[in-house]
Amino acid sequence: MPVRSLITPARSLSEQAYEKIRESIISLELLPGQTVQENELADVLGISRTPIRDALHLLISEQLIEVLPQRTKKIACISVSKVLESSVVRLSLECTAFRLAAKQWGMSPEHAKAEKMLTHLLQEQREAAETQDTFTFLRMDEEFHRQILLLAGNQSLIDVVYQMRGHLNRFRFLAMKELVLTKGLVKEHEDLLACLKAGDEQAVVQLLERHLGKIKEEIAPLREKFAPYFQD
């Protein structure tokens, strides 16, 4: 059973198990519809079944894992309705954060730190595009957006966005994997950063709407090609 890496002693076992298993679901290492066993996950991660069970409970609450009769657990299929709903919520929340970041850009020393971090993330994305590393590309994409949310200073906003993007990010990973990753995708982030630095609230929202608004046109071809992965 593929799970990206083993547990380290740095943080609680339950928290790490949750993150590792969730990451494997998002990156489609654990495929939609695949059965999961607590003992197998415990063996792979090198920990007891108790933190695995705690992690699975959280993933069930996110509807990324389903419980079938006789307590069998499987990876939930990608819900098209949840993808669409999540994309709308994400756009609304991030537009608020990006607009605020543009309005306040340059008023705090944190913006200089953020610019340095965002520039580094863009370089990481360019390198991931060159090697067609979908997992790293998506991770850098997520971190770019998270850094802007951090500037909004609202941890609840970050938590909401993180929790509701499970189905959406699985879809995005699949879409990116099917596409040829190009520096044109990175250019969209470069343009967003330029608008933030210019303090152009209207332009940054318009760019963000285009940047995040491609989901609907991607659903039909991906659902046709990967029908077993999807549900309504």
Q: Where do the CATH 1.20.120.530 domains begin and end in the chain?
A: 79-231
Q: Report the mean per-residue pLDDT for the chain.
A: 89
Asked if pLDDT for residue 185 goes beyond 80, the answer is: yes
Interval 29-87: pLDDT, tens: 999 999 999 999 999 998 999 999 999 999 999 999 999 988 889 999 999 999 999 89
CA–CA gap between residue 153 and residue 142 (Å, rounded): 17
CA–CA gap between residue 51 and residue 150 (Å, rounded): 29
Asked if pLDDT for residue 183 goes beyond 60, the answer is: yes
**CA angle in degrees (0–180, nearest 5) for 226-73-168:** 45
Q: Which of 94-108, 137-151, 174-188 has the lowest mean pLDDT?
A: 174-188
Asked if pLDDT for residue 150 goes beyond 60, the answer is: yes
Q: Are 15 and 162 in contact (CB under 8 A)?
A: no
CA–CA gap between residue 201 and residue 68 (Å, rounded): 47
Q: How confident is the model at residue 161 (pLDDT cuts 50, 70, 90)?
A: confident
CATH assignment, 79-231: 1.20.120.530
Interval 91-110: pLDDT, tens: 988 999 999 999 999 998 88
Asked if pLDDT for residue 157 goes beyond 80, the answer is: no
Q: Where do the CATH 1.10.10.10 domains begin and end in the chain?
A: 13-76
CATH assignment, 13-76: 1.10.10.10
DSSP 48-68: -HHHHHHHHHHHHHTTSEEE-
Question: Within 13 Å and on the Cβ side, how many CA atoms surround 176?
Answer: 29
Asked if pLDDT for residue 4 goes beyond 70, the answer is: no
Q: How confident is the model at residue 1 (pLDDT cuts 50, 70, 90)?
A: low
